[in-house]
Amino acid sequence: MCVCVTFIAIVDGAITTVALPSIARQFRLTTAALDGVVVAYPVCLAMAIPASAWLVERFGAKRVLLTALSGFLGSSLLCGAAAGLGQLVAFRALQGLSAGVLFPASASLLFSTFNSSEQVRISRYMIIPQQIAPAAAPVLGGLLVDHLSWRWVFYVNLPVGLPAVLFGVLFLSGHRGPRPGRFDLLGLLLSAAALGAVMFGVSEGPNRGWSSAGVVTALILGAVLLAATIAFELRTAEPLLKLRLFGDRLFRDTNLINLVGLVPILGAMYLGPLFLQQGQGRTALESGTSTFPEAFGVLLTVQVVGVLYARTGPRVIVGCGLAGVSAVLLLFATCDEHTGLWTFRGYMFLLGLAMGGVFMPTTVASLATVARPDLAQASTLNTVVRQTGGALAPAVVTMALVMSTPSAAAADPPVTAYQHAYLALAAIAAVTAVFAFTVPDGPARAAARGTTVASRSTPFRRQRENAG
């Protein structure tokens, strides 16, 4: 169930870009005019995330997950049937709102069902859709647009999602934790506005320019609202976002690693196609086949990490993983217009090997010391952090390229600009690696060995037995 949800949501976020030229032709618009179709999804996703934990606590993870997935599939159907740009943007916004609840509800269900030692094993399977989906989305989107219609990039969610809904209805057991307090409406308004404004500014910065009035206003407003949200939520007895969880050092440190560490990792994934297509003049197909080896590297490393996690702990694994990312990015910084595709593909595979030591250990360790009643809140905060880190990555890459490009060649960065961007990402990864080696991971190792299984036992375990 969680594998299907992850695959659908990631593919949908990546596949739409492929269909934009075809959508523009049908609606007789320029591709630039379709900016709202792309931006509406991440902005609304960010705005919906804060409410997800309260919904899970109030109505139960199963009900919220199935409702959000049904809403996601329904809005996908509406997107495919949209008669104009306005409808398409509105339905994409509904998709984003559904996805904003879908991610945390799925994570909460997964981590409430299994203890830490089991989560390590499960993460070896969960990483498959997380890596395959982004790589497969452009290829799948191209096939659907070329042989059917752009509408099928939305319709394709239905044959995958409907069986998942049916499975959930039949086999997932309902469970509701302690009844939450009153709904924190002001906290929702503040946090949703803050995250929405920040996500808009970060998403639009590369397109409109970081000095444009709209981007600057959105970022400043987002920062002010974010500060107001933090101040309000810390003083509220029953906050929508339980920011006090960041008082736990392991939870705080692993989330900080996720926030900063995702920038060089996802930044490299964003920069690679740009370098190949703009810096070397490669085709989109050559670019896609050259970035895909990263997924194989991640899948290989995660299987090894799953075995080593309980023995060595996440600190050594994550620290070495980020150090490896930094080293590979230094290799990328040596690439120029004469670098061969197979050399680049080899570097991408090495990057994947290093990345595989970061994602799963930080996620599992972040929840090792979180009490069961707080798992929904912790999953929500984890999602906020990951979405923010993912949005910052292209922003950092764009800034590095702009700063390394002469103003006369702004539209066509030289190869040296890409090299400097890789160096900047390598520096960020190196600093994050040093910090990762300071994380106190004793509780995480104990949880992975099953020492704290009793404290994490929940009624969801009966659900797992029934589903098995």
What band does 131 get if pLDDT is binned at 50, 70 and 90? low
From CA 372, how far away is CA 116, in angstroms rounded?
A: 12
From CA 125, how far away is CA 406, in angstroms rounded?
A: 45
Instruction: Return the minimum-mean-pLDDT range out of 13-22, 52-61, 86-95, 395-404.
Output: 13-22
Select from 244, 216, 215 the least CA-distant residue to 230. 244
Residue 148 has what DSSP assignment?
T
Contact (CB, 8 A) for 435 and 321:
no
Q: Domain residues of the chain, as ranges?
A: 1-183, 245-453
Tokens of 291: 């970035």
Convert the pLDDT of each residue in 41-85 to its tens digit: 888 888 888 888 788 878 887 888 889 999 999 999 998 888 888
The residue type at 211:
S
From CA 407, how far away is CA 176, in angstroms rounded?
A: 58
Contact (CB, 8 A) for 29 and 69:
no
What band does 459 get if pLDDT is binned at 50, 70 and 90? very low
Task: Say yes or no to pLDDT of 450 above 80.
Answer: no
Assigned architecture for domain 1-183: Up-down Bundle (1.20)
Select from 15, 16, 8, 10 the least CA-distant residue to 35. 16
Select from 142, 166, 140, 150 the least CA-distant residue to 69. 166
Mean pLDDT for the stretch of residues 21-26: 77
Per-residue pLDDT, 354: 92
Mean pLDDT for the stretch of residues 269-290: 78
Mean pLDDT for the stretch of residues 153-177: 79
Task: Say yes or no to pLDDT of 426 above 90.
Answer: yes
Contact (CB, 8 A) for 228 and 190:
yes
Contact (CB, 8 A) for 401 and 209:
no
The CATH topology of domain 245-453 is Growth Hormone; Chain: A; (1.20.1250)
Return left, alpha or beta for 414; rule: phi > 0 is left, psi -120 to 50 is alpha, else beta: beta
Per-residue pLDDT, 18: 67
What band does 1 get if pLDDT is binned at 50, 70 and 90? low
Convert the pLDDT of each residue in 315-346 to its tens digit: 899 999 999 999 999 999 999 888 888 999 99
Select from 426, 399, 402, 425 the least CA-distant residue to 413. 402
Select from 415, 460, 426 the least CA-distant residue to 331. 426
pTM of the model: 0.76
Mean pLDDT of the chain: 80
Q: What is the DSSP string of 230-295?
A: HHHHHH-SS-SS-GGGGGSHHHHHHHHHHHHHHHHHHHHHHHHHHIIIIIS---HHHHHHHHTHHH
Tokens of 282: 């490669």
Task: Say yes or no to pLDDT of 466 above 60.
Answer: no
Task: Say yes or no to pLDDT of 463 above 50.
Answer: no
Mean pLDDT for the stretch of residues 356-361: 85
Contact (CB, 8 A) for 140 and 51:
no
From CA 251, how far away is CA 370, in angstroms rounded?
A: 8
Give the end-to-end CA distance of the chain in Å, rounded to a whole number. Answer: 12
Per-residue pLDDT, 202: 78
Residue 338 has what DSSP assignment?
T
Per CATH, 1-183 and 245-453 having the same topology is answered yes
From CA 122, how far away is CA 128, in angstroms rounded?
A: 11
Mean pLDDT for the stretch of residues 96-123: 73
Select from 188, 187, 213 the least CA-distant residue to 200. 213
CA 371 vs CA 180, 235, 377, 411, 458: distances in Å? 15, 21, 10, 51, 11
The residue type at 12:
D
What band does 457 get if pLDDT is binned at 50, 70 and 90? very low
Mean pLDDT for the stretch of residues 220-235: 89
